[in-house]
Amino acid sequence: MARRALISGITGQDGAYLSAFLLEKGYEVFGIVRRSSASEAMTAKLKWLGVDQSVRLLDGNLTDLSSLIRIFREVRPDEIYNLAAQSFVQSSWNQPLLTAQVTGVGAANMLEATRLEAPGSRFYQASSSEMFGMAREPVQTEQTPFYPRSPYGVAKVFAHWSAVNYRESFGLHASSGILFNHESPLRGLEFVTRKVTDGVARIKLGRAGNLALGNLDARRDWGHARDYVRAMWLMLQQDRGDNYVVATGVTTSVRDLCRMAFETVGLEMEDHVTIDQRFARPAEVDVLLGNASKAKAVLGWQPTVGLRELVAEMVEADLKRVAAE
C-alpha cells in the first residue's frame, strides 16, 4: 500500500511543494485546512503546481485537539509534517497571542495527537532560523543557543523544544528542521522577497513607479523552497529523529537581493526603491547564516538552486501574473 502523509499548512508555499514532491514518490497526501469562505484563494498554490486535485483536504484546526484526533484516526498517517503556523514575523507583534496559540501550542497539539493516535508514525516539525534571532554565533548550527527577537520566534522555540521533548519522553520519531529563509514564486506577497519581485514586475510593466521597503541592510541565508522540502522528507527516512539546520551557507542583504531583482529586468534599484520606516521591525534580526554540514553529511542533502536563479524565477513568475491582471 502507498504510504500516507498528513500535512498541516498544506495550502502554503512549503505545503504545496511538499505535496508535489510526495505525490511524485507515490504517497497518498492528506492536508489539514481551516474552513474558509475563500476556498479558491486557499488552494491557489496547490493549483499553481497542478496538484490540487491529487490531494485530499480535511477540515481541522491546530488549536482544536479534538479535530486533529478525528483526522488522525481517519487518515492513519505514516508521516506527519507540521508546517502550519502564523508565519509572518511582522504580524506576530500585532497578534502575539494568536501566534503563540497556532505556531506554538498548535505544534504541541499535533505532537499530542501523534502520541495518542499514531505513535509509530514519523513526525516533522518546521522549526525556523528566526529562533536564533540575535544570533550568539556568527554561523548558526544545531548547537547554537536560541535568542528569538519576535513573538513568532518565541513560539517557534516552544514548538521546537516540544518536538525534542516528545522524542525523548515518548520515543516518537520526531525531527525538527531548522530551516533558514526559503523562497519561491509561491511565497506570500507579505514576505520581503516576494514583495521585491512583485514590485519589480509592476515597475517594469508600468503599473508602479517605486518600491517602498524597510531595512535594506538585514542579511539572510536564502534558498529555494523546492530544495528545502526535500530535506524535510529525508529527515523522516532516517532510523531516528533528530534536529537539522537546512541552509545554503551564503548570506545576502535585502539591498543586494533587490539589486539582483532589478537587474533581471534591466533596471537600476536606486532609481525605484524608497525607505519607509513603517516596515521596520520593533526588534530587528540583523544577520542569519546557517551551517548545514550535518544535513549534508547525514541526509546527503545539498541545495541545488542559487539565489540569482531563484530571484530570476520569482521575477519571471510575477511578470506573468501582473501582465495577466
Catalytic one of 28, 79, 117, 130: 130
User: How do residues 135-183 score in pLDDT, each as one tens digit?
Assistant: 999 999 999 999 999 999 999 999 999 999 999 999 999 999 999 999 9
Do 153 and 257 fall within a single domain? no
Strands (E), 42-165: 56-59, 79-82, 122-128
For the domain that residue 211 is a member of, what is the CATH number? Answer: 3.90.25.10
Do 229 and 282 fall within a single domain? no
C-alpha cell at 275: 525607505
User: How do residues 238-272 score in pLDDT, each as one tens digit?
Assistant: 999 999 999 999 999 999 999 999 999 999 999 99
Do 53 and 135 fall within a single domain? yes
Task: Examine the residue annotation and report whether 244 is marked as an active-site residue of this protein.
Answer: no
Task: Examine the residue annotation and report whether 27 is marked as an active-site residue of this protein.
Answer: no
What confidence score (pLDDT) does residue 284 get? 73
pLDDT, mean of residues 311-322: 98
35 pLDDT exceeds 90? no
What confidence score (pLDDT) does residue 277 get? 80
The confidence band for 83, taking pLDDT boundaries of 50, 70 and 90, is very high
Catalytic one of 67, 127, 128, 175: 128
Do 53 and 137 fall within a single domain? yes
Do 207 and 124 fall within a single domain? no
Tell me the pTM.
0.95
Do 38 and 102 fall within a single domain? yes
What confidence score (pLDDT) does residue 37 get? 47
Do 174 and 281 fall within a single domain? no
User: How do residues 97-116 score in pLDDT, each as one tens digit?
Assistant: 999 999 999 999 999 999 99
What confidence score (pLDDT) does residue 36 get? 65
Do 12 and 61 fall within a single domain? yes
235 pLDDT exceeds 50? yes
pLDDT, mean of residues 268-286: 84
Give residue 203's Cα distance to chain centre: 27
Report the percentage of the chain scoring pLDDT > 70: 98
Cα distance between residue 36 and residue 14, in whole Å:
20
218 pLDDT exceeds 80? yes
Cα distance between residue 12 and residue 10, in whole Å:
6
pLDDT, mean of residues 290-318: 98
Task: Examine the residue annotation and report whether 117 is marked as an active-site residue of this protein.
Answer: no
Q: What residue numbers bound the domain in which 165 lies?
A: 4-182+222-246
Report the percentage of the chain scoring pLDDT > 90: 89
The confidence band for 221, taking pLDDT boundaries of 50, 70 and 90, is very high
What confidence score (pLDDT) does residue 88 get? 66
59-63, 92-96, 309-313: segment of lowest average pLDDT: 92-96
Task: Report the phi/psi class of residue 94: left, alpha or beta, with left for phi > 0 and alpha for psi in -120 to 50.
Answer: alpha
Do 88 and 203 fall within a single domain? no
296 pLDDT exceeds 50? yes
Average pLDDT, rounded, for the chain = 95
In eight-state DSSP terms, residue 140 is B
Catalytic one of 152, 166, 228, 244: 152
Task: Give yes or no for a contact between 232 and 177, defined as CB atoms under 8 angstroms apart.
Answer: yes
What confidence score (pLDDT) does residue 1 get? 86
Do 175 and 38 fall within a single domain? yes
